């Protein structure tokens, strides 16, 4: 029973990292209906920017982390304005190909600048300090990740539900033309969306980097975050978070009781199963566009 509880807590902890990446992807998808496969590398380059500020420039934590978040927002603005907006009447497949191209460019830049050797991001909380919950243990960094994921989910839910800008973002996703006719500046909305998404992804990267930091560190969180978002519903923020926690728990239990070698396969098996049963995701509401 103790082993089960430990795997359950560890599953929630790892699911929080997936949740942050999944939230970042859902934010863009809610506005443009395009899954952003450059999300991981946007977080990657923001994390290495933080590493450069701390290690090479000697910035203190209280200055480096806010500058990293600002860098992430500006990066999102820059990519949307200079790349996505310049595409001539792209379809969904074209936009996906563009995001994959951005991913490869950012990965190449990080590999060229910082090399492939593993690094560790200096962080105020050690990933090796543990907190005891009775007889179950969770690292301080994992506890922080869980708390951050829940707080960001709550802030985003309130933002999309009650703010005018959040409603404008949802309107842009549902019908871009009608939104423009109603006076919504959809180009600015899309640019803002990319900035917010990049910010959330940067938070995920900063929480992952103290454990492992190398050019390919975001591939697994990206794939698992995307799997969680698909399972929960690509248009549902709470769905993406719940999907991430379910995925983390199921993945951990499968690795503990069945096979550690095939642990990563579970995420994609779950995607296939969910899409066969409920194509819109477990927690998303399906709607049909009328033309």
* Consecutive H or E run containing 24: helix 2-32
State the pLDDT at residue 95. Answer: 86
Domain limits for position 131: 21-217
Domain membership of residue 186 (yes or no) is yes
3-state secondary structure of 119: strand
- The pLDDT value recorded for residue 109 is 93
pLDDT of residue 48: 94
Q: Considering only CA atoms, which of 145, 184, 139 is closest in space to residue 15?
A: 145
DSSP string, 34-99: ---TTHHHHHHHHHHHHHIIIIIS---HHHHHHHHHHHHHHHHHHHIIIIITTSSS--HHHHHHHH
C-alpha angle 94-199-282 in degrees, rounded to nearest 5:
65
What is the Cα–Cα distance from 282 to 238, expressed in whole angstroms? 11
**Residue 55: both structure tokens together:** 């290690």
Q: Which residues of the chain have pLDDT under 50?
A: 290-291
With respect to residue 163, please indicate whether it lies within any of the assigned structural domains.
Answer: yes
H/E run at residue 138: strand 136-139
pLDDT of the residue at 278: 77
Q: Is 74 part of a structural domain of the chain? A: yes
The answer to whether residue 225 sits within a structural domain is no
- Distance, in Å, from the CA atom of 141 to the CA atom of 208, rounded to the nearest integer, reads 9
| 203-259: pLDDT as tens digits | 999 999 888 889 899 988 898 888 888 888 887 888 888 888 888 888 888 877 777
Domain assignment present for 55: yes
Q: What pLDDT does 105 receive?
A: 93
Structure-block tokens of residue 154 = 């709550």
Asked if 223 contacts 216 with a C-beta cutoff of 8 angstroms, the reply is no
**pTM (two decimals):** 0.89
Cα–Cα distance between 245 and 255 in angstroms, integer? 15
pLDDT at site 118: 86
CA-closest candidate to residue 99, choices 49, 20, 47, 42:
42
Place of tokens 């095939």: 262
Q: Contact 86/95 with Cβ under 8 angstroms?
A: no
- The total number of structural domains that make up the chain: 1
How much helix, strand and coil, in percent to the nearest 5, is found in the chain?
70, 5, 25
Label residues 40-57 b or e (16+ Cβ within 10 Å = b). Answer: bbbbbbbbbbbbebbeee
Residues in the chain: 291
Check residue 104 and give its pLDDT: 93
**Beta strand 130-133 pairing with 136-139:** antiparallel
pLDDT on residue 284 = 64
In degrees and rounded to multiples of 5, residue 139 shows phi and psi of: -70, 155
């Amino acid at each position: 029973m103790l082993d089960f509880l430990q795997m359950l807590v560890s599953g929630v902890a790892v699911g929080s990292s997936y949740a942050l990446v999944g939230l970042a992807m859902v934010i863009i998808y809610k506005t443009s209906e395009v899954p952003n496969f450059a999300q991981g590398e946007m977080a990657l380059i923001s994390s290495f920017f933080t590493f450069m500020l701390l290690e090479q420039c000697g910035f203190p934590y209280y200055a480096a982390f806010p500058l990293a978040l600002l860098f992430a927002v500006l990066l999102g603005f820059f990519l949307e304005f200079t790349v996505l907006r310049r595409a001539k009447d792209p379809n969904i497949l074209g936009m996906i190909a563009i995001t994959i191209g951005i991913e490869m460019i950012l990965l190449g830049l990080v590999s060229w600048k910082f090399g492939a050797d593993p690094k560790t991001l200096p962080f105020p909380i050690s990933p090796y300090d543990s907190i005891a919950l009775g007889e179950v243990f969770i690292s301080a960094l994992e506890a922080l990740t869980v708390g951050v994921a829940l707080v960001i989910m709550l802030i985003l839910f309130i933002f999309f539900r009650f703010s005018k800008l959040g409603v404008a973002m949802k309107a842009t996703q549902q019908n871009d033309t009608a939104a423009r006719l109603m006076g919504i500046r959809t180009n600015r909305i899309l640019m803002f969306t990319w900035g917010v998404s990049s910010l959330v992804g940067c938070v995920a990267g900063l929480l992952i980097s103290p454990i492992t930091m190398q050019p390919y560190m975001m591939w697994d969180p990206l794939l698992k975050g995307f799997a969680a978002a698909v399972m929960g519903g690509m248009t549902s923020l709470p769905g993406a978070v719940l999907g991430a926690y379910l995925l983390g728990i199921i993945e951990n239990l499968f690795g503990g009781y069945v096979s550690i070698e095939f642990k990563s396969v579970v995420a994609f098996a779950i995607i296939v199963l969910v899409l066969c049963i409920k194509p819109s995701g477990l927690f998303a509401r399906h709607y049909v566009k009328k033309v």
